[in-house]
């Protein structure tokens, strides 16, 4: 990818902007997953809140970019869907770059930005939501509150998945253990709770085992291939 693909040097590295400047590149990534047999593909919106997009002076494009990204993913999923093997689109909501527990941002500001993102994903046609690579329980709670606001506004719920990242030291980035995270999230209306990113599958085993023994939710596991 070149700077021109991103719309100029000032936007280079903003993958979320590619849905506007070079949608064919995003479609190609989706195509690779679909041809490999994926049942669910994620939208190109991991850093799609206005807070993250502001780093590229694109904060005012947050709703549009999330909606557009979902439309692109939905188009590709529809093309590959069959009655025997339907394909689905998960609206991706990443952790952002500011953690409320560490005082980087206040809860309400983060929730409002997440609600704007969630509405774009919903309006674009997402089949489910994934709040992923979660590093801070306050960030998770703000995103969950935001998504619930959108569900209430739209009058229809979608399946909701939360995916936590456990670091090599055995806790979330801000020090929360898996048992504490589960206790905090158990009252929420979540469909799937699991782990992703950070470490390879070997380091996830104990955390997944704990969830299998204590969690009331469906469990997911999306490991990296390993650490670089």
In this structure, which topology does domain 9-28+37-222 adopt according to CATH?
TIM Barrel (3.20.20)
Binding residues, by number, are 197
pLDDT in tens, 155-182: 999 999 999 999 988 999 999 999 999 9
pLDDT in tens, 27-47: 999 999 999 999 999 999 999
Binding residues for Zn(2+), by number, are 197
Q: What is the mean pLDDT of the chain?
A: 96
Q: What is the DSSP string of the chain?
A: --TTTTTSGGGTT-GGGHHHH-HHHHHHHHHHHHHTT-SEEE-S-TT-SHHHHGGGT-GGGHHHHHHHHHHHHHHHHHHH--SSS--EEEEEE---S--GGGTSS-HHHHHHHHHHHHHHHHHHT-SEEEEEEE--HHHHHHHHHHHHHHHHHHT----EEEEE---TTSS-TTS--HHHHHHHHTTS--SEEEEESSS-HHHHHHHHHHHHHH-SSEEEEE--S---
């Amino acid at each position: 990818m070149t700077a021109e693909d991103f719309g100029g040097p000032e936007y280079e590295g903003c993958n979320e902007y590619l849905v506007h400047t070079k949608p064919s590149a995003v479609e190609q990534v989706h195509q690779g997953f679909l041809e490999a047999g994926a049942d669910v593909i994620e939208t190109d919106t991991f850093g799609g809140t206005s807070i993250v997009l502001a780093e590229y002076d694109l904060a005012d494009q947050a709703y549009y970019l999330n909606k557009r990204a979902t439309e692109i993913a939905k188009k590709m999923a529809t093309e590959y869907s069959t009655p025997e093997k339907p394909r689905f689109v998960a609206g991706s909501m990443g952790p952002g770059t500011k953690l409320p527990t560490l005082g980087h941002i206040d809860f309400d500001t983060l929730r409002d930005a997440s609600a704007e993102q969630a509405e774009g994903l919903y309006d674009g046609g997402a089949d489910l939501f994934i709040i992923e690579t979660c590093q801070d329980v306050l960030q998770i709670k703000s995103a969950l509150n935001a998504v619930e606001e959108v569900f209430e506004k739209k009058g229809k719920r979608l399946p909701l998945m939360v995916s936590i990242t456990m670091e090599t030291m055995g806790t979330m980035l801000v020090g929360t253990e898996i048992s504490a995270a589960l206790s905090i999230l158990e009252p929420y209306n979540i469909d799937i709770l699991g782990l992703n990113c950070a470490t390879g599958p070997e380091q996830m085993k104990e955390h997944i085992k704990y969830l299998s023994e204590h969690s009331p939710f469906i469990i997911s596991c999306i490991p990296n291939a390993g650490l670089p």
